[in-house]
Structure 1
């Protein structure tokens, strides 16, 4: 029985993937004017190594992905606290979270983003109090698709992983939740070519999450709903 719903943040509660993609693009273009936005689309929803390996290949200036990422953090990530994320916040999110709580479900957030920016986004958008547990990927040695962040979040809730449903969008996130032994609801986003084959359910928008059969008491007859 599902007792908790764990949300990813970027791409699920906030439509921030294009925002981050454009920031990476502007940074990469500063290193090599011939870099195209299309080259960097595959960076979305990957681990740091996966994303910045693609950036390093596109930039092709002799810098390693680690060096590029370190400079990006120094020059770009430090500006995140001054950015306004309310414009990319999914306005339906509070209603979704409220409906899930009304079903008696416990809520948590597990994001690959840094804790400071996660807290800023959920506080600025008025949803911090919905979550019993907020976990950042910066606390772990490996990032999604490694399942550690989801296993840790379930443990922090005191709930078995099999009793958790995760709302995710990216290939890495879906894989991480699946490997953690959780049910997965994939929010469909066809802009970035995410592989949703490991998801148990697919939803067009987050408003559909409270109506997923496994949360509504209906029998589940197929892997996708």
Structure 2
């Protein structure tokens, strides 16, 4: 069946249609916008990324995901039982466990699908640090509306109405003063407005 156009997705120069998909998927990790946690211990939730993982591997992945320290503060550490969907945990904590799960298999390709979009500013910063550490030594494909998430990317593709509108790294796109620069300016203005609202609320609360 013809689609009317020929589009290729290549991985290290090879068309994805020529790859062994089972083997390819085994080398992928994915972190989604809404982390999916299951009823069970913290260790069991991380181990879902690699069923034969040792406790040492679990803790190594948690450290890479900025999760180890807060896990140790839980009532039973890694053996703390989580409620379904991670009830009682913050969005940032749940996301870091999901990142650890994605990293435990040491994937060559990491897909990040709006991984910080549902987080508050403080949680976003902690999770972003984890994602930057996780991206070292592997290829990352990031889908994001929060431009702070992709600031350090080697290549940014700016989409508009399903079409690649601009491409380049952060500095190149800012210099073009086009769509990316406009979106960046708008987001920075919103951060400034919300920061002032936050400061005003606390100033009046103290009076």
TM-score scaled to structure 1, two decimals?
Answer: 0.26
Bigger Cα Rg: 2
TM-score scaled to structure 2, two decimals?
Answer: 0.28
Quick one: higher RCO (CA 8 Å, sep 6+), 1 or 2?
Answer: 1
